Structure 1
Amino acid sequence: MDMPKLQLESIQAKLGLNIQQPVQEIQQPQADLDLEQPAAILEMSTTKPELSIDTTEARADLDLMSSIRRTAEVASYSHGQLLEGISRRAGEGDDLMRIENGSNPIPAHAKQSGRQPYSSLGIKFVPSPGSVKISFQPGKANIEAQPQKVINNTKINKPIHNYTPGKVTMDMLQYPSLKIDWQV
């Protein structure tokens, strides 16, 4: 027995797409720089250091005294010698005044006057330690700086932006169809 047959024939649809890409252009112009840095205000003051060296005593140890000091030293030495001579002569006079007591002071006085005093031998360091006096006052430096602010007149440029949107268009390249047939 022959059965009827159903025969289907279909054609699929075909779409065509036209795509136009979007275009985007971005440019960033550089900023217009206008910077200025004023110099700092600088104030400086100094006090000079002071060095003082006193060699008066060291020069005196080397026998290089000033005329005023030499004169004062000779006057002091002479005054001391004068007082010593007066004292010695007064003592000798007192001894001679007591001659009646049975003493004989003249040979003792001659013996004492005729004897030379011994001079001492020794090492002497010239100039003596500590005879040079040094004093130092350090100097000072005061520095004051006042920084100045930066003057900034920089201008920022906006970006240049061009945008063309894209498009998509569709075309039907092939329409769909369906054919139905019976075969007996």
Structure 2
Amino acid sequence: MKVPQIRLESTTAQIGLQTRNAINNIQQPKADLSIEQPKAELSIKTTRSKLTIDQSQARADVDLKSIAKRKEEFAQKGYQDLLAGIARRAQEGVELMKIENGGNPIASQAKQNSQKPRKEFGLGFIPSAGSVKVQYDPAKVDIDIKQNKPKIDVKVNKPIYEYEAGGVDVTLERRNELKIDFEMIDIKA
């Protein structure tokens, strides 16, 4: 006897998955840095030193006098000698006026005018101690420094950030199928 037989053949669906990873890119540019150091300002002021040596007294002690000093001394000595001469002559005149009082004024005056005065001699240091006068004013130095601070300029650069999202692509690689067949089978009873 022949019996119908149903044959079922199925194929499952097949899914394909393709993934893309996310891309994350971060770059940090260096900061822009500028440093400038201005020079310090330096000011130096100097007052010269002064040395004064006065040796006029020492030169006078060793008889090395200037012409002006000699003229002044000679004029002064001449004036003193003139006054002394006038005083001596006046005194001699008074003595001669009073000749009647006795004595011998003419002989004593002649004797006095004919004798030279005695020279005096004394020891001394030539030039005398302390005759050279020295005065020294030291130099003065004023130093002024103005310090200039450095000029620092910083520009911060922001990070460069790039992001590309990942994803999943789903595809149907194979469809599902169902095949149905009918066949007659002989069965022996």
TM-score range, shorter chain: 0.5 to 0.7
User: Number of aligned pairs?
Assistant: 128
The AA in structure 1 aligned to 2:75 is: A
The AA in structure 2 aligned to 1:127 is: P
Larger Rg: 2
RMSD (Å), alpha carbons: 2.7
Q: Deviations over 1:23-69 (max 9, x none)?
A: xxxxxxxx999755432111111111111112222211121111111
5+ long unaligned stretches in structure 2: 1-30, 157-189
TM-score (structure 1 length as normaliser): 0.59
The AA in structure 1 aligned to 2:114 is: G
Structure holding more strand per residue: 2
Inter-partner Cα distance in structure 2 for 1:59 and 1:33: 75
**Correspondence for 2:59:** 59
Inter-partner Cα distance in structure 1 for 2:101 and 2:147: 103
Deviation (angstroms), 1:126: 1.5
**Correspondence for 1:150:** 150
Deviates more, 1:134-143 or 1:81-90: 134-143
| SS at 1:131 equivalent | coil
Deviation (angstroms), 1:129: 2.0
Superposed, 1:101-180 pairs within 5 Å as 101-152=101-152
| SS at 1:111 equivalent | helix
Deviation (angstroms), 1:71: 0.7
5+ long unaligned stretches in structure 1: 1-30, 157-184
Deviation (angstroms), 1:97: 1.0
Q: Deviations over 1:122-171 (max 9, x none)?
A: 21211122222222222211111122223456899xxxxxxxxxxxxxxx
Inter-partner Cα distance in structure 2 for 1:155 and 1:120: 99
The AA in structure 2 aligned to 1:91 is: Q
